[in-house]
Structure 1
Amino acid sequence: MILEAVILNVKPGLESDFEVAFKEASKIISSIDGYLSHELHRCIEVERKYLLLVKWETLESHTVGFRSSAEYQEWKKLLHHFYEPFPTVEHFEEIEI
Structure 2
Amino acid sequence: MILEAAQLQVKPGSINDFESNFRKASKIISQMPGYLSHELHKCVETEDKYLLLVKWESITAHEVGFRKSPQYEEWKALLHHFYDPFPTVEHYVQIKN
When normalised by structure 2's length, the TM-score is 0.99
How far apart, in 2, do the equivalents of 1:80 and 1:95 lie? 31
- SS of the equivalent of 1:33 reads coil
How far apart, in 2, do the equivalents of 1:72 and 1:47 lie? 27
- SS of the equivalent of 2:90 reads strand
Query: Deviation above 4 Å: which 4+ runs of structure 1?
Result: none
Gaps in structure 2 of 5+ consecutive residues:
none
How far apart, in 2, do the equivalents of 1:37 and 1:16 lie? 23
Number of corresponding residues = 97
1:8 positional shift: 0.1
RMSD, aligned CA = 0.3
Kindly report which structure 2 residues correspond to 1:45-56, keeping only aligned pairs within 5 A, or say none.
45-56=45-56
Between the two proteins, what is the percent identity of the paired residues? 66
Gaps in structure 1 of 5+ consecutive residues:
none
Kindly report which structure 2 residues correspond to 1:10-89, keeping only aligned pairs within 5 A, or say none.
10-89=10-89
- Partner amino acid, structure 1, of 2:76: K
1:59 positional shift: 0.6
How far apart, in 2, do the equivalents of 1:28 and 1:89 lie? 18
